Structure 1
Amino acid sequence: MTPARRPLWPSRSDACWLIFAALVFTGMNVLLYALGDRTTGAWGPAAGLVLQIACDLSLVLLFRFPGPVCAFLTAAAVAMLAADTFAPGLLMPLHPLALTTVPTITPVVLSQAARVLDRRSVLLVAGVLAVIAARPWPPTWAITPFGLLNTALPALASLYFQTRRQLLQSLRDRAERAEREQHLLAEQARAAERRRLAGEMHDVVTHRLSLMVLHAGALGVTSADPAARTAAEDIRREGALALDELRDLVGVLRNGAETGPRTLSPEEPGDPARLVEESRSVGVVTDLMVDGDPAQVSPTVARTAYRLVQEALTNVRKHAPGGSATVSLRYHAGGLDVSVDSTAAAHPPDPALAGSGSGAGLAGLRQRVELVGGRFDAGPRPGGGFRVGAILPAYVPTAEGTHCDPGARGR
């Protein structure tokens, strides 16, 4: 497999910085050439300048070709050392203005090499250049300290900052990983608590409701009073519906889905049309708009919409007497959009009726909607009135039971 080719520059800022540095050092070498002595060797008076400019311009290619650029810089330093030792004046003037005995671009190259080369290669190149620049045979105060400042110091500083940057990144990654693990543990704790609550509800509440339904059924069969039989049948029917809803809620708490496909019919208490009729029967002008097929959503989602409409219409009766309401249900392949829009109150609400609630109705609706994966929205309408709405999925996206959820057909 062919290794990925390095980019010419990691970013636009790096490109600007490298080109700027190369031009600055080129200009500085041209200035030193103009103000100082010329080389006197066989290669001409500008031999040293040409070599310096070649090294300066090679900085632009450092990120694409880090190894060849460092090798070229080291070869240029060796050539300068050899020329100064065996052919004085060939590549360096006999009396140079600058104290450096390596290419002037050396500290910049070494400071950037740690970003593209491994630590061993950087130390090797910096060590060779430091020996050439310091010339410890014999050491002099004019050359050795300045040579070390030009080579060893930028290389070590660059390695230090590179290591520090890697350490900070490692610590940041560890902190993010720990935060993710903490979030996962919290989710697991919440899931365990939901399962525990589901078990308690199933073992205690379901048992009592089942007994209530059985007793109501027995009363309806044995009682001779028609009114008692009718009341017993009402109790039995409501208890059976409560058992169905409790079973669905327990399934959601356990991260399950529907216990089986079941379509809401207009006669069932879960139909919002009955809520609209009840609202009209107590004098609230209520309109119902339905678009789409209710069978596209699962029973749990349909019950969530039913509870939202129920709570919203209850609030209209409590807080907006004399107002009107519009219930909108739009069924589509992605789920259900439900909203209840009410107008402003025509006269002040009854204090006793308005204060009869717990004050947690909207919060409970939000929690119910979010439990099935929907988005809840409630707030005043422009010009007066109030709006309660939600965007619900077609089914509860849980691990179990998706294959039998009618809302999963479109997924």
Structure 2
Amino acid sequence: MTTARRPLWPSRSDAFWLFFAALAFAGLNSLFYALGDVTTGGLGPAAGLVLQVVADFSLVLLFRFPLPVAGFVIAGAVAMLASDLLAPGLLVPVHPLALMTVPTITPVVLSQLARVLDRRTVLWVAGILTLIAARPWVPSWSTTPFAVLSTTLPALLSLYFEARRQLLQSLRDRAERAEREQHLLAERARAEERRRLAGEMHDVVTHRLSLMVLHAGALGVTSADTAVRTAAEDIRREGAQALDELRDLVGVLRNGAEVGARTLSPEQPGDPARLVEESRSVGVATELAVDGDPARVSPTVARTAYRLVQEALTNVRKHAPGASATVSLRYHQDGLDVSVASTAASGPPDPALAGSGSGTGLAALRQRVELVGGRFDAGPAPGGGFRVGAILPAYVPTAEGTQRDPGARGR
């Protein structure tokens, strides 16, 4: 198993500051070399400067090779200490401007190690460099305090800020996780409520409608009166259609739960042409424009469009007497665009007829359209009329749609 290779720099800003710090400390060491004494040992007068500059630019590789860089800085500090104690002038001038026997880049190295190494390793590196810089065996006010400030303090501060950053990140992650869990719990509660409502609709309303359909069918068979048989057949047919639509709604609420399969017959709701004919039969001039193939959309979407047209034409009859209406259906690959536009009314509406509704028809339409993943729009049209429209998807994942179209899930 191979470990992931560290990036050379975590970000461009880190790369910029690393190079900037390396150049700044290299310039500082060059200034010390120019203004102070030089080394006098066999390695030449620039031996100390070369060691310092190499240590400075090792900072650039800190994030990719943290342990080798820390080891190199420690080795440089040990070499400087050995030179100062055993061979004065070899790597450190006899009278240096900086009294520390560690590379000048040490504070920066220690401050960045906390970002890439564990706390114990950083403390070990800081302890070794503090021991070399402070020289506790010969304590001095001119070296010990400055040595501690240049080694121990940067390490401790960097560890503190890194621990604080990790704590804040942990709290942030915990808050985001709690928010996600809260969202999931809310989604689960909504799904459970939808399933509960679907179950109640299926168990209670479906049962009553089924009884109504059975009684109407029995009445149509046993009655000798033609008018009664006709009315009973109408009740039976409408009840059967209501059962089909109710099962469809239950399937949507359950988000694909199993409901009874059926075959959509021409007499069932779904053909807006019937609604247009009904509207014309009561004196409303209604035009129908159909573009595309109705087979492009699933039965669930077709039924939603049917309900939208039905509600819109009902509102025209109630609230806009004398107005004409245009129903537009455009079937395309992505779904269905529905529009019902009416002209301005030629007279005031009948108060009894206009007040017969619940006043929530458009709101219920919006909910129904959004339930299948569509977009609903309603508002005044130019010229004083009114327009109701929706953009519906081609397919909604319900058991009814899947049973009617085995390949629908692959769309």
Q: How far is 1:111 from its partner?
A: 0.8
- Is this contact kept in 1: 2:250–2:259, CA < 8 A? no
Any idea what SS the aligned residue of 1:195 has?
Answer: helix
| Counterparts of 1:36 and 1:387, CA distance in 2 | 89
Equivalent residue for 2:241? 241
Give the partner amino acid of 1:62.
L
2:349 maps to 1:350: yes
Give the partner amino acid of 1:50.
V
Which deviates more, 41-50 or 295-304? 295-304
| Counterparts of 1:380 and 1:96, CA distance in 2 | 88
Superposition map of 1:247-262 within 5 A? 247-255=247-255, 256=257, 259-260=260-261, 262=263
Q: How far is 1:263 from its partner?
A: 3.6
| Counterparts of 2:97 and 2:309, CA distance in 1 | 89
Equivalent residue for 1:37? 37
| Counterparts of 2:19 and 2:384, CA distance in 1 | 64
**Alpha-carbon spacing, 1:202–1:81, altered in 2? closer, same or farther (3 Å):** same
| Counterparts of 2:97 and 2:300, CA distance in 1 | 86
Give the partner amino acid of 1:132.
I
Any idea what SS the aligned residue of 2:17 has?
Answer: helix
| Counterparts of 2:180 and 2:75, CA distance in 1 | 51
Q: Deviations over 1:73-107 (max 9, x none)?
A: 11111111111111112222222222332111111
**Alpha-carbon spacing, 1:404–1:149, altered in 2? closer, same or farther (3 Å):** same
Superposition map of 1:326-365 within 5 A? 326-334=326-334, 336-342=335-341, 345=344, 347=346, 349-350=348-349, 352=351, 353-365=353-365
Q: Deviations over 1:165-207 (max 9, x none)?
A: 2222222222222222222222222222222222222222222
Superposition map of 1:47-66 within 5 A? 47-66=47-66
Q: How far is 1:257 from its partner?
A: 5.5
- Is this contact kept in 1: 2:126–2:155, CA < 8 A? yes
Superposition map of 1:217-366 within 5 A? 217-255=217-255, 256=257, 259-260=260-261, 262-263=263-264, 265=266, 267-320=267-320, 323-334=323-334, 336-342=335-341, 345=344, 347=346, 349-350=348-349, 352=351, 353-366=353-366
| Counterparts of 1:147 and 1:293, CA distance in 2 | 84
- Is this contact kept in 2: 1:312–1:340, CA < 8 A? no
| Counterparts of 1:383 and 1:257, CA distance in 2 | 47
Any idea what SS the aligned residue of 1:132 has?
Answer: helix
Equivalent residue for 1:157? 157
| Counterparts of 2:28 and 2:381, CA distance in 1 | 70
Which deviates more, 273-282 or 151-160? 273-282
Give the partner amino acid of 2:263.
R
Equivalent residue for 1:216? 216
Q: How far is 1:112 from its partner?
A: 0.9
- Is this contact kept in 1: 2:309–2:340, CA < 8 A? no
Give the partner amino acid of 1:239.
G
Give the partner amino acid of 2:344.
A
Equivalent residue for 1:171? 171
| Counterparts of 1:115 and 1:284, CA distance in 2 | 77
**Alpha-carbon spacing, 1:134–1:386, altered in 2? closer, same or farther (3 Å):** farther
- Is this contact kept in 2: 1:341–1:388, CA < 8 A? yes
Give the partner amino acid of 2:96.
P
Which deviates more, 78-87 or 373-382? 373-382
| Counterparts of 2:258 and 2:294, CA distance in 1 | 18
Q: How far is 1:22 from its partner?
A: 1.1
| Counterparts of 1:19 and 1:323, CA distance in 2 | 78
List gaps (5 residues or longer) in structure 2: none
**Alpha-carbon spacing, 1:405–1:161, altered in 2? closer, same or farther (3 Å):** farther
Which deviates more, 222-231 or 98-107? 222-231
- Scaled by the length of structure 1, the TM-score of the pair is 0.89
Which deviates more, 190-199 or 317-326? 317-326
**Alpha-carbon spacing, 1:57–1:186, altered in 2? closer, same or farther (3 Å):** same
Any idea what SS the aligned residue of 2:161 has?
Answer: helix
Give the partner amino acid of 1:359.
G
Q: Deviations over 1:316-370 (max 9, x none)?
A: 4445555544433333454x22221525525565272555443322321222122
**Alpha-carbon spacing, 1:84–1:301, altered in 2? closer, same or farther (3 Å):** same
**Identity between Structure 1 and Structure 2 (%):** 77
- Is this contact kept in 1: 2:269–2:303, CA < 8 A? no
Which deviates more, 222-231 or 381-390? 381-390
Q: How far is 1:385 from its partner?
A: 5.0
| Counterparts of 2:321 and 2:19, CA distance in 1 | 75
Q: How far is 1:388 from its partner?
A: 3.3
2:82 maps to 1:114: no
The root-mean-square deviation of aligned C-alpha atoms, in Å, is 2.6
Q: How far is 1:379 from its partner?
A: 4.5
**Alpha-carbon spacing, 1:300–1:403, altered in 2? closer, same or farther (3 Å):** closer
Any idea what SS the aligned residue of 1:68 has?
Answer: helix
Q: How far is 1:72 from its partner?
A: 1.0
- Scaled by the length of structure 2, the TM-score of the pair is 0.89
- How many residues matched? 408
Any idea what SS the aligned residue of 1:250 has?
Answer: helix
Superposition map of 1:20-169 within 5 A? 20-169=20-169
Q: How far is 1:114 from its partner?
A: 1.4
- Is this contact kept in 1: 2:62–2:69, CA < 8 A? yes
- Is this contact kept in 1: 2:287–2:327, CA < 8 A? yes
List gaps (5 residues or longer) in structure 1: none
